[in-house]
Amino acid sequence: MPTFDDSDLGPQSPLQKTASRDSQRHQRIPSRHGSLAVGSYGANLAIPDDGEGPIEVPATRSSIADAQAYMHSLSLSPSMRDRRGSRNSFGAALPIPRSKRRSRLSSVHYLGETEQRPGLPPVQPSREILAAQVQDLAHEKVRAAKDMAFVFDIDGVLVHGDRLIPEGKRVLEILNGDNQLGIKIPHIFLTNGSGKPEAARVDQLSKILHSPISTDQFIQSHTPMRALAEYYKTVLVVGGEGYKCREVAEEYGFQDIIVPNDIVAWDPTIAPYRVFTEEERKTARPRDFSKINIEAIMVFSDSRDYATDMQIIVDLLRSENGRLGTIAKDPVSQRIPIYFSQGDLLCPTEHPIPRMSQGAFRIGLEAMYKALTGVDLERVVYGKPELATYKYADEVLASWMEEIHNDQRLPSNIYMIGDNPASDIIGGNMYGWNTCLVRTGVFQGGENDEENPASFGVFANVLEAVQAAMRKELGQDFKFNFDERINPVLHGNSMSAIE
């Protein structure tokens, strides 16, 4: 199975901090908490090696990036064959947060009493005791159950927008303990979705799926970008509805957040074709941006106004160290960094032909920047299938293991379940996970995807995939419900039913 190159992963385990030594090769300039290093490809991000900071995910410079000017084929036809190097391949390293430092985001969204398990009896404390007794008698199966985990894509797997995929609800019941052992199977959610705070997203998902979901199990495309709040104070945040991404950035701890509307309200001539409403003017926060250095650009979600956002981003990328109204003499050394939360070219919507997404917006910017300056735009991309996102998923999984099993350890057998071969499957395959492709979303093909085949197989829906994986790890006769009548203490014979 193809994997990320060894140079990407380094010799250490996924939970260990990697490659901070590499960053020391770069010349450092001081920043707020850490340092920014200026390497041969512009402002590379270096992580201080204090054992406490974020984890650095080293990036490689791919041969494709070397060979092609700016629109390399990875962005246009994502294929496992072409994707041996990461698309973060312009020399910039990506920080991701340590999942344990989660106080700002941590919250569990349990359903109200009346919403719990409709159609099923309420969970009684006696059930936990019963499950503990069952588990005491089935050591091997319990060990196997704690050594497996699921990573779910959301849209096209568990839900379609706001609509439940019925098998998704059943899957979460099974993984939350309605199984032969009455045991919780660790699972997290990994989506390229964006544009809302994690808590709001999780709340919505909990309601649709009728299961409690914690923000600590949940990764959307910009979640790992909260690590960047340690490095930049004043940032431009782009994309999303209204001011929602400003809210997201505030939650991540960014201190000084500017959105394009603030800049248009300060100087409407910056975006000559923009019709700026009175309402927008009232809600914007204009300042004299000719006196402010913006340190980095963060595209958190899809742009709602390509013309204005692209103009402002290109202005900033061409400026002297992020000062609007200036043009840098050297476009590379004075350029501020730009980060994208994900790289999907297209996104399925209710429109019959998929709509352009952040990847298309980025390619447009790259082409404009190249045409205006003659140099390639160095940029960093998070989200599936980028390595940083999978590294972060490991952190979140290990931390979730501690939450449910009091054992901060990464399970050995991880199953990614997704509907999109070009992001869910390719990324999972490269990261060494078992991958399951479901037919409830993007994938409409034959036996398996030709470019990025799922390693564990193709399934009609998420329930079939989860059951197949659990049978593989826990035995073909494993039962997908918890029998409340079993009492292994009083009825010793029933042991045969659970071993």
Q: Which is nearer to Mg ion, 155 or 394 (CB)?
A: 155
User: Which positions from 417 through 446 interact with Mg ion, judged by CB under 5 A?
Assistant: 419-420
State which residue, 344 or 376, has the beta carbon closest to Mg ion.
344
Q: What is the distance between the alpha carbons of residues 185 and 437, in angstroms, rounded to a whole number?
A: 20
By CB under 5 A, tell whether 449 contacts Mg ion: no
Q: Give the C-alpha separation, 353 to 348, whole Å.
A: 7
- Piece of the chain touching Mg ion by CB under 5 A; list 151-159, 261-269, 385-393, 486-494: 151-159
Q: What angle do CA 158, 219, 358 make, to 5 degrees?
A: 90
Nearer to Mg ion, 144 or 422 (CB): 422
For residue 385, give the amino acid letter.
P
Least distance from C-beta 442 to Mg ion, angstroms? 6
Least distance CB 434 / Mg ion (angstroms): 17
Question: In whole angstroms, how far apart are CA 478 and each of 146, 172, 235, 318, 469?
Answer: 15, 17, 52, 60, 11
Q: Which is nearer to Mg ion, 152 or 231 (CB)?
A: 152
Size of the site for Mg ion (CB under 5 A): 5
Q: Does 153 bind Mg ion (CB under 5 A)?
A: yes
The nearest distance, CB 156 to Mg ion, in angstroms, is: 4
Is residue 328 within 8 Å of 334, Cβ to Cβ?
A: yes
Min dist. Cβ of residue 154 to Mg ion (A): 7
The number of angstroms, rounded, from the C-alpha of 281 to the middle of its chain's C-alpha atoms is 33
How many other C-beta atoms can be found within 10 angstroms of the C-beta atom of residue 241?
11
Q: Please, which residues have CB within 8 angstroms of residue 131's CB and are 6 or more apart in sequence?
A: 177, 181, 182, 183, 482
Helices and strands, number each (H, E), in the chain: 17, 22
Cα 64 to chain centroid distance, Å, stands at: 24
Kindly write down the DSSP assignment for every residue of 394-459, as one continuous string.
Answer: HHHHHHHHHHHHS-----SEEEEEES-IIIIIHHHHHTT-EEEEESSSS---SSS-SSS--SSEEE
- To Mg ion, the closest distance from the beta carbon of 420 in angstroms equals 5
Beta strands at 187-190 and 148-152: parallel, antiparallel or unpaired: parallel
Binding mask 402-421 for Mg ion (x = CB under 5 A): -----------------xx-
296-299 and 355-356 strand pairing? unpaired
Q: CB–CB of 412/149 below 8 Å? A: no
The tokens 């963060």 sit on which residue?
298
Residue nearest to Mg ion (CB): 156
CB of residue 252 vs Mg ion: minimum separation in angstroms?
Answer: 24
Nearest distance in Å: CB 158, Mg ion: 9
Q: Is 366 in the site for Mg ion (CB under 5 A)?
A: no
**CB of 348: closest distance to Mg ion in angstroms?**
8
Stretch that binds Mg ion, among 112-120, 156-164, 272-280, 373-381 (CB under 5 A): 156-164
Q: Are 321 and 261 in contact (CB under 8 A)?
A: no
Closest CB to Mg ion among residues 88, 423:
423
- Of 14, 34, 97, 156, which lies in the binding site for Mg ion, with binding defined by CB under 5 A? 156
- The CB-of-219 to Mg ion minimum distance in angstroms stands at 14
Pick the binder of Mg ion from 22, 56, 155, 216 (CB under 5 A): 155
Instruction: Between 23 and 342, name the residue whose CB sits nearer to Mg ion.
Output: 342
Binding window for Mg ion (CB under 5 A); candidates: 14-22, 123-131, 145-153, 464-472: 145-153
Closer Cβ to Mg ion, 230 or 449, answer by number:
449
Contact positions vs Mg ion (CB under 5 A): 153, 155-156, 419-420
